[in-house]
């Protein structure tokens, strides 16, 4: 991405950008670079940028400087993960494997010669596995027969990373002279791994919103920029909320129960109508889980309907992730 930006004519400044509230003004921006950050970018010639794009991830600089509240999801999980080499892999290359644990869930993601292994669970349950991230991940692998069979005698080749507070969406991501993208706007959950997709999509939406102004060389006043970007804030906020709702249906067991009900449905004999119904349901679940149809009204309504009326006696509570 950096190379692409440089080829497009961007001036890259290798320095930590810090923000502050701008001086109060009826027509001015809300945010400004601090003097030290301005000094690190002499090509600006002392002039504040027309638009500040907050891509600071979970640090969420713009929200913290402006005291913007956030909607916090119901889960308070912690994730520990690392990369391993020398693992055994019997599944398809690139196939992501997710498993429900007694507490939380785990993932195995093959990355060429390495395997990403992670656990996501409540903080109290994590504490029972050990004091340090290394102890917790090691204990999880040792105590879980499935994880042990995959990892085997593989060697950990990276430090164990830790993340927490996975479900958070800012109430506002657009203002005069600034916009937040990616995790700086909101992050949902590692379940289904939507983070990179949502971050890239948010950047695309911002670029699409600004393109007409650039093409017409319209004056980029803070208020005009905010007006152009308001639709992005609404659309991407809706996407984050849709992902949060989808992830919740995995955690409460509805999606896994529906998959179980679908297998039972097909096990009793197939036919043209049953096959068509099953393909239709699988397609719309796939559209949501891949990001291609997460916000589609019909796909969301179908999953909600099936989660209420299509479980055929399968109890979601039996498949819920604690």
Those residues of the chain that have pLDDT short of 70 are 165
Picking from 172, 218, 192, the residue whose alpha carbon sits closest to that of residue 120 is 192
Q: Which residues neighbour 268 within 8 Å (Cβ) at sequence distance 6 or greater?
A: none
So what's the pLDDT on residue 165? 66
Which is it for the CA torsion 309, 310, 311, 317, positive or negative?
negative
In the chain, where are the structural domains located?
2-69+171-249, 77-164, 252-319
Picking from 133, 159, 163, the residue whose alpha carbon sits closest to that of residue 57 is 163
Q: For strands 114-122 and 70-72, give the pairing.
A: unpaired
- Give the rounded distance of the alpha carbon of 79 from its chain centre: 14
φ/ψ region of 112 (left if φ > 0, alpha if ψ in -120 to 50, else beta) reads: left
So what's the pLDDT on residue 192? 85
User: What's the burial of 133, exposed, middle or buried (CB within 10 Å: 0-12/13-18/19+)?
Assistant: buried
CATH architecture of 2-69+171-249: 3-Layer(bba) Sandwich (3.50)
The whole-angstrom separation of Cα 201 and Cα 219 is: 26
pTM of the predicted structure, to 2 decimals: 0.89
So what's the pLDDT on residue 190? 86
So what's the pLDDT on residue 222? 95
Same fold, 2-69+171-249 and 77-164: no
Longest dimension (CA), the chain: 73
Summarize the chain as % helix, strand, coil (round to 5).
45, 20, 35
Which is it for the CA torsion 196, 98, 165, 297, positive or negative?
positive
DSSP H/E element including 107:
strand 105-111
The whole-angstrom separation of Cα 278 and Cα 263 is: 9
Class of the CATH domain delimited by 77-164:
alpha beta
User: What's the burial of 209, exposed, middle or buried (CB within 10 Å: 0-12/13-18/19+)?
Assistant: buried
Radius of gyration of the chain (CA): 23
H-only helix segments in the chain: 2-7, 35-39, 61-66, 123-127, 133-143, 145-151, 195-216, 222-251, 254-267, 272-290, 297-309
């Amino acid at each position: 991405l950096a190379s692409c930006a440089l080829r497009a004519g961007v001036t890259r400044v290798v320095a930590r950008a810090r923000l502050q509230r701008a001086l109060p003004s009826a027509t001015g921006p809300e945010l400004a670079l601090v003097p030290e950050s301005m000094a690190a970018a002499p090509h600006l010639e002392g002039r504040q940028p027309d638009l500040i794009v907050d891509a600071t991830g979970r640090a969420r600089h713009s929200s913290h400087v402006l005291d913007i509240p956030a909607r916090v999801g119901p889960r308070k999980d912690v994730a520990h993960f690392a990369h391993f080499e020398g693992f055994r892999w019997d599944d398809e290359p690139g196939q992501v494997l997710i498993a429900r644990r007694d507490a939380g869930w785990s993932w195995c993601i093959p990355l060429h010669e390495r395997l990403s292994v992670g656990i996501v669970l409540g903080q109290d349950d994590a504490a029972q596995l050990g004091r340090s991230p290394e102890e917790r991940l090691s204990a999880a692998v040792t105590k879980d027969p499935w994880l042990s069979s995959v990892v085997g005698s593989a060697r950990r080749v990276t430090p164990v990373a830790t993340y927490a507070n996975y479900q958070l969406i800012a109430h506002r991501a657009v203002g005069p002279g600034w916009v937040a993208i990616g995790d700086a706007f909101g992050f949902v959950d590692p379940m289904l791994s939507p983070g990179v997709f949502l971050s890239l999509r948010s950047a695309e939406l911002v670029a699409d919103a600004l393109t007409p102004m650039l093409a017409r060389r319209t004056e980029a006043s803070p208020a005009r920029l905010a007006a152009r970007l308001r639709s992005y804030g609404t659309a991407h906020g809706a996407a984050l909320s849709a992902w949060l709702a989808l992830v919740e249906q995995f955690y409460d067991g509805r999606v896994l129960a529906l998959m179980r009900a679908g297998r039972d449905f097909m096990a009793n004999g197939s036919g043209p109508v049953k096959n068509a119904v099953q393909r239709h349901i699988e397609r719309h679940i796939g559209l949501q889980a891949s990001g291609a149809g997460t916000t589609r009204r019909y796909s969301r309504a179908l999953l909600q309907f099936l989660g209420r009326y299509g479980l055929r006696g399968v109890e979601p509570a039996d498949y819920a992730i604690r």
